[in-house]
Amino acid sequence: MQVDLVLPRHYRPLLDIRETERAIRKIKEFFQINLSLELNLTRVTAPLFVESGTGINDNLNGVERPVTFNVKAMDERQVEIVHSLAKWKRMMLADYKFQLGEGLYTDMNAIRADEALDNLHSLYVDQWDWELVITEKHRNLIYLKKIVEKIYDVIRRTERYIAQEHSTIQPILPDEITFFHTEELEEMYPELSPTDRETEISRKHGAVFVIGIGGDLPGGQPHDGRSPDYDDWSTETINGYHGLNGDIIVYNPILDRSYEL
Region 38-65: mean pLDDT is 87
What integer pLDDT is reported at residue 61 of this predicted model? 61
Model confidence at 170, pLDDT cuts 50, 70, 90, reads: very high
26, 53: one domain: no
Residue 227 binned pLDDT confidence (cut-offs 50, 70, 90): confident
Same domain, 22 and 60: no
Q: Is there a domain that residue 107 lies in?
A: yes
Angle at 85 between CA 82 and CA 89, to 5 degrees: 145
Shared domain check, 204 and 223: yes
Q: Name the band, by pLDDT with cuts 50, 70 and 90, for residue 62.
A: low
Q: Return the pLDDT at 60.
A: 64
pLDDT of residue 58: 75
Per-residue pLDDT band at 3 (split at 50, 70, 90): low
* CATH number of the domain to which 179 belongs: 3.30.930.10
Q: Is the pLDDT higher at 64 or at 16?
A: 16
> What is the tens place of the pLDDT at every residue in 191-222?
999 999 999 999 999 999 999 999 999 999 99
Mean of per-residue pLDDT scores for the chain? 94
Q: What confidence tens digit (pLDDT) does each residue in 75-126 have?
A: 999 999 998 898 899 999 999 999 999 999 999 999 988 888 899 989 999 9
Nearest to 129 by CA among 225, 32, 29: 32
Let me know: does 183 contact 242? Beta carbons within 8 Å: yes
Q: Give the domain range for residue 120.
A: 40-133
Q: Are residues 147 and 245 in the same domain?
A: yes
Do 143 and 33 share a structural domain?
yes
Distance CA 75, CA 108 (A): 27
Is the same domain home to 54 and 150?
A: no
What pLDDT does 15 receive? 97
Q: Kindly indicate the confidence band of residue 4, based on its pLDDT and cuts at 50, 70 and 90.
A: confident
pLDDT at 226 over 90: no
Asked if the model's pLDDT at residue 63 lies above 80, the reply is no
Q: Are residues 145 and 256 in the same domain?
A: yes
Residues 25 and 91 grouped into a single domain:
no
In this prediction, residue 1 carries a pLDDT of: 54
Q: Does residue 71 share a domain with residue 29?
A: no
Q: Are residues 154 and 104 in the same domain?
A: no
Q: Assign 230 a pLDDT band (cuts: 50, 70, 90).
A: confident
pLDDT tier at 228, thresholds 50, 70, 90: confident
> What is the Cα–Cα distance from 113 to 188, expressed in whole angstroms?
35
Whether residue 157 sits in one domain with residue 118: no
d(C-alpha 139, C-alpha 150), whole Å: 17
Q: How far apart are CA 31 and CA 159, in angstroms?
A: 9
Per-residue confidence band for 2, with pLDDT thresholds at 50, 70 and 90: low
